[in-house]
Structure 1
Amino acid sequence: MRVQPTRRIATSALCAALVLGAAGTALANAPDSEGGVARTVSRAPVPKADALLRQSEALGDLGTVLAPATNLLNAVLKADNGQLSKEEAKKLGDATKGAIAQAKDAAPAQPPATPPSASATSPVQLPADLRDDQLDALGKAVDVLLGAATSGKADQVGPAADKVVTALVNVSAATLLGSGMRAENLPGLPAS
């Protein structure tokens, strides 16, 4: 009986895999000169870790405000004639106002002396309370939207929703500028 070449190749490949697999594992677990397991560990700190952590936390805080506010906006805009029941409006409004209060109570990030920009030749001083002012404006815009969404007048909902969207954008911008984020670098954006 003649042995097919496919079987020879498959048998050789299986044997090679078993031998190399065992050898690879043994080499990976070889002890280093100190008697332990060989590891490659960098003990150098991450450059600018504090600033990056502050920026990351600011973005996380921003999410706590955006989610309930957009839930309120979505509910109003999807409702018939933009009208919500008093109970639903209260529930969504309380969630949004609670998030705004939580964001204001959170420890503010240390704002840089000047906002990050592409050109360091024109420094602009940021107001220290820029973020809190924008959170207050968002709270007022939410109140106007809640009033419009329970008034029975559909024509008031559009302008009120527009004010909430504008306030959300302003809160986002104030948070980003106040936490030392780098200047935008998206292609196509106008130069600042």
Structure 2
Amino acid sequence: MRALPVRRIATTVLCASLLLGTAGPVVAAESDSPQGSAQEAARAPVPEANKLLAQVKTLGDAGGVLTPVTDLLTAVLKADGGQLPAADATKLAAPVKDAITKAAATAPKAPETSVAPEAPALPQTPALPKALPDEDKAAAEPKDDALKALQTAVDTLLKSATGGDVTKVAGAVPPVLTGLVNVVAATLLGSGLPAPDLAGLSALPKAPALS
């Protein structure tokens, strides 16, 4: 009577051993499966993520300037006679100035030249003439120039939109639009963003060389 339970116990132990022996390789195989490799790849960072994030931020900065300026233009063009109450003009001007200031702070600057050691004083010579305006403009940072020009155009528009002369408003709007286009173009040219590949699109002009 006792032989039957012993036999059953031995059979149960044998089955358990076989199950345990096959379970190990199965677990290892799952870790080496294509699904496991895909999970590991999903946890890895995107190649050149920092470079791509910098390009995304550049576009975001440009958009930050576009939105408040276009809001101002829309308000002026929809107003009767292009005239805004002083309070409305001030309210619309504040985000424009903030956006331009922020974009100018993030614009790349030309590298500073190292200062040479002091040399013995030389006899005074006649002062050299100042650089021509075109040379100054070519040596300046294009995006910084575009932002300054845009702010000047916006100031002129605000003055016209609160001065009571409709004809001045009509003449002040196009420079603001041109200023926006210049900001976008300068941002794209100096940001390392990929070149446009739209069929039939003319090539963007090259940025002026910095002296």
How far has the Cα of 1:72 moved from its partner? 0.4
Q: 2:55·2:192 contact (CA, 8 Å) conserved in 1?
A: yes
C-alpha distance in 1 between matches for 2:56 and 2:108 = 10
From 145, 150, 156, the equivalent of 1:138 is: 150
Task: Provide the secondary structure at the position in 1 that maps to 2:192.
Answer: coil
CA displacement 1:67-97 (0-9 Å, x = unmatched): 1111101000110111101111111111211
What corresponds to 1:59 in structure 2?
Answer: 59
C-alpha distance in 1 between matches for 2:36 and 2:202 = 51
Relative to 1, partners in 2 of residues 1:57 and 1:191: Cα closer, same or farther, differing over 3 Å? closer
CA displacement 1:8-45 (0-9 Å, x = unmatched): xxxxxxxxxxxxxxxxxxxxxx96338xx946231655
CA displacement 1:105-155 (0-9 Å, x = unmatched): 23x3589xxxxxxxxxxxxxx856211111100100000100110111111
In the superposition, the TM-score normalised over structure 2's length comes to: 0.62
Task: Provide the secondary structure at the position in 1 that maps to 2:93.
Answer: helix
Letter in 2 for 1:83: Q
CA displacement 1:154-173 (0-9 Å, x = unmatched): 11112211110100010011
Relative to 1, partners in 2 of residues 1:86 and 1:182: Cα closer, same or farther, differing over 3 Å? same
What corresponds to 2:79 in structure 1?
Answer: 79
From 31, 34, 37, the equivalent of 1:33 is: 31
How far has the Cα of 1:103 moved from its partner? 1.3
Q: 2:109·2:141 contact (CA, 8 Å) conserved in 1?
A: no
How far has the Cα of 1:174 moved from its partner? 0.7
Give 1:110-125 correspondences, 5 Å limit: none
Q: Sequence identity of aligned pairs in percent? A: 49
How far has the Cα of 1:56 moved from its partner? 0.6
Task: Provide the secondary structure at the position in 1 that maps to 2:160.
Answer: helix
Q: 1:65·1:99 contact (CA, 8 Å) conserved in 2?
A: yes
Considering only aligned residues, what root-mean-square deviation do their CA atoms show, in Å?
Answer: 2.5
Q: Show structure 2 runs of 5+ residues with no match.
A: 1-25, 111-137, 205-211
In the superposition, the TM-score normalised over structure 1's length comes to: 0.67
What corresponds to 2:166 in structure 1?
Answer: 154
Letter in 2 for 1:170: N
Q: 2:89·2:162 contact (CA, 8 Å) conserved in 1?
A: yes
Q: 1:110·1:179 contact (CA, 8 Å) conserved in 2?
A: no
C-alpha distance in 1 between matches for 2:57 and 2:146 = 18
What corresponds to 1:91 in structure 2?
Answer: 91
Task: Verify: 1:174 aligned to 2:174, yes or no.
Answer: no
| Aligned residue pairs, count | 146
C-alpha distance in 2 between matches for 1:45 and 1:110 = 30
C-alpha distance in 2 between matches for 1:87 and 1:63 = 25
